[in-house]
Amino acid sequence: MKTALIQQANCSDIQKNINKLKINILDCVKKGAELIILQELHNNLYFCQTENVKNFDLAEEINGFSTQFFGKLAKENSVVIVISIFEKRAVGLYHNTAVVLEKDGSIAGIYRKMHIPDDPAFYEKFYFTQGDSGFEPIKTSVGNLGVMVCWDQWYPEAARLMALAGAEMLIYPTAIGWDIADTPAEQQRQKEAWIAVQRGHAVANHLPVIACNRTGWEQNPTNENDGIKFWGHSFIFGSQGEILAQADENEQNIIVEIDTKRTEDLRRIFPFFRDRRIDAYSDILKRWNN
Amino acid sequence: MKTALIQQANCSDIQKNINKLKINILDCVKKGAELIILQELHNNLYFCQTENVKNFDLAEEINGFSTQFFGKLAKENSVVIVISIFEKRAVGLYHNTAVVLEKDGSIAGIYRKMHIPDDPAFYEKFYFTQGDSGFEPIKTSVGNLGVMVCWDQWYPEAARLMALAGAEMLIYPTAIGWDIADTPAEQQRQKEAWIAVQRGHAVANHLPVIACNRTGWEQNPTNENDGIKFWGHSFIFGSQGEILAQADENEQNIIVEIDTKRTEDLRRIFPFFRDRRIDAYSDILKRWNN
C-alpha cells in the first residue's frame, strides 16, 4: 500500500499554505499514494509560539473548512487523507485534532491529541484541552490507522495502546523544531532522540510508524526568542523498525510502499504480545511510585 | 561514574569461562570501572538451545558458588558487579536471575527475569519460571540500578516501570543471537531492531541503557539446527539515547563514563513524566482489546 507524507514549510498566508498542500496532494496521488498524511496544524504558522487569545479565531469545527476542502480532494482523488486541525469543540473548548478523511470524502474518524506539551515557544496547554477520545485506531479502507499527534510520539504507552486496540500502523502528524539558541550538538541529539523513540515503537509493536513533520524557520511573533527552526526529517519505519524513507530538512513529498502483512510474520517469531506481564504492570497507572 | 560491560564468548568448560571473566573484571577495575555488568548466564554455554532435564544440574542457589566467587572479586576490588545465574529457588522451581553484588561483597539485591521467551533454540519457558519480584530497582552505592534480563528488553512497560520506581539506569544482561539459516539482511534487521527498541527506552525515560550481550557461535547439542551465532554488539546509550559505546562481534570489555545527572536536565525541558495520561492507560493491563 503506497503511503505518502507531505513535509512543508508554512507562511503567514493560509491560502498559500493550502494551495501548496493541494498541489502536493495531487503530486502524491499521481505517484500512486492511497494514504496521504499531512503535518500537524498544516494550514497555519505554528501559532503556539506565543499565548494570544486572538489565535482562537483560527479554530474551526470538525465539519468546517478543512474537512470540506480536503474531503473534496480525498473524494476527487479516491485517497485517504489524514489532516490536522485546530478544533473548536465548543465555546471556550479547543483541541488539537487529527481528522481522517475516507476515499469518498466522508470523515472516517477523529483523534484528539491526548498528551499536550508546554515548554518555551510551544505553549500548547494554553490552546488545547487534552483529548478524551482515548487511543482508538480509526477504521478506513486502507486499514486501522493508529493516528496520534506530535507530543504523543514520546509515549510508549500511547503506541502500545494503539497496538492493543488493533492499529495496523502508527501515524504522527508533528510540528517539532529547535530552539536556535541550542548548540548544533544538542540539536542533533534532540532530533536523533525524536527518531529513536518512534523507531522503538515500531519494533516494540511490530507496526510501521509514519511521522510527518513541519520544516522551515518561523519567527516568534513577540520576539521573545529567535523563533523555531522546524527540523523536518519526516520518516517512515517498517514494522521491524527498518527505515523505509527519511526526509532531510527540505520541503518534500515522500511516497513509499508499506507492507502491513509483515506484522504477523514478525509477531510469530518475536511474540512480544504472548509474554506481556499484564499481572505486573499496574504501577504504570501511577504518576510515580510514591 | 565509570561503567563497564564484558562481552564474552563461552565454551563448555565452566572453569575456563569463569577464569576469563575474572581476568576481564580485573582489567575493567584497572581501567577505573565502579560498576561491571556481565552477560546473561555467563558461566555456561547457553543451555536453553535444547530441553534437557540434566541441565537443571547447572542451577545454583542465590547464595551459591557464583555469588561467593564474584562477591569475593567485588569486595577485593571494591566494585559493584551485576551477575546472572540459573537460580534454583526450590526443588523443581528455577529462575533466570540477576544478582547485584555490592562493593563489600554483599548482595545488594536480585531480579528474577519477568518476561520469559520461548522460540526455536531459546527454550526458556522449559527452564525458568517467570519472576515474581516485579520491576524494582536495586539500591547500590553507585545508584539505583534498573536491572532486567534479555527478553525484558523488548518491553517498554518494563523500562517505564523501572523508571517510575526510581531507576537511574537500565541494565540488561543478554544472550541473543541469530539463527544462521536467516538471510544476512534479516539478521541485520533483527540486530538493529534489538538496538533500536532499547535506545527508545533511553529516550522515553531519560535514562542510560546498558546491554551486555554474549558473542560467539554455540553448537546445538542435538543438532536440530545449526546452533546460535550470538551477535555481540553490546552497547551503552546515554540518557538522551545518544550512543556512548558500541561493541562489534568480537569479545571485548567496554568501559565508559556515564552521567546520570543529565537525566534531570532532560526531564526539565522534555517533561514526559509531567504529561503522562495515567487516566487513559488502563487498557495496558489487558491482554488485548477484546
- Cβ–Cβ under 8 Å, residues B236 and B258: yes
Residue B227 has pLDDT above 90, yes or no: yes
Domain A2-272 bears CATH identifier 2.60.260.20 = no
Hey, are the CB atoms on A130 and B277 less than 8 Å from each other? yes
Query: Where would I find the H helices in chain B?
Result: 14-30, 65-77, 124-127, 156-164, 184-205, 262-269
Given a contact cutoff of 8 angstroms between Cβ atoms, the answer to whether B115 and A275 are in contact is: yes
Q: Is-catalytic flag, A229? A: no
d(CA A138, CA B74): 55
Percentage of chain B modeled with pLDDT above 70: 100
Q: What is the pLDDT of residue A290?
A: 76
Q: Out of A20, A88, A103, A113, pick the active-site residue.
A: A113
Confidence of residue B124 (pLDDT cuts 50, 70, 90): very high
| CA distance, residue B96 to nearest chain A CA (Å) | 15
Q: Band of the pLDDT at B223, cuts 50, 70, 90?
A: confident
pLDDT at B290: 76
User: Does residue B117 have a pLDDT over 90?
Assistant: yes
pLDDT in tens, A239-284: 999 999 999 999 999 999 999 999 999 999 999 999 999 999 999 9
Residue ranges per domain, chain B? 2-272
| B270 vs A contacts (CB less than 8 Å) | 119, 154
The C-alpha angle with vertex A45 and arms to A40 and A49, in degrees rounded to 5, equals: 90
Cell of A87: 478544533
Contact call for A155 and B284, based on CB within 8 A: no
Model confidence at B213: pLDDT above 90? yes
- Residue B53 DSSP one-character state: G
pLDDT tens-digit profile, chain A (290 residues)? 999 999 999 999 999 999 999 999 999 999 999 999 999 999 999 999 999 999 999 999 999 999 999 999 999 999 999 999 999 999 999 999 999 999 999 999 999 999 999 999 999 999 999 999 899 999 999 999 999 999 999 999 999 999 999 999 999 999 999 998 899 999 999 999 999 999 999 999 999 999 999 999 999 998 888 899 999 999 999 999 999 999 999 999 999 999 999 999 999 999 999 999 999 999 999 999 87
Mean pLDDT, chain B, rounded, equals: 97
Cross-chain residue pair B193–A201, CB shorter than 8 Å: no
Residue B31: its pLDDT value, please?
Answer: 98
Residue B189 is predicted with a pLDDT of: 97
Which one of A20, A28, A34, A40 is the catalytic residue? Answer: A40
Measured distance CA(A285)–CA(B239) in Å, rounded: 23
Tell me whether residue A125 is one of the annotated catalytic residues: no
Are the Cβ atoms of A119 and B151 closer than 8 angstroms? no
Cα(B7)–Cα(B9) distance, integer angstroms: 7
A252 — phi, psi (to 5°)? Answer: -170, 155
User: Cα separation of B41 and B173, whole Å?
Assistant: 8
Q: Which residues of B are catalytic?
A: 40, 113, 150
List of residues 6+ apart from B76 with CB closer than 8 A? none
Could you report the predicted ipTM of this complex, rounded to two decimals?
Answer: 0.97
**CA quadruple A34, A40, A43, A49: dihedral, nearest 10:** -170
> What per-residue confidence (pLDDT) applies to A20?
98
Mean pLDDT for all residues in chain A: 97
Kindly state the average pLDDT of the residues B176-184. 93
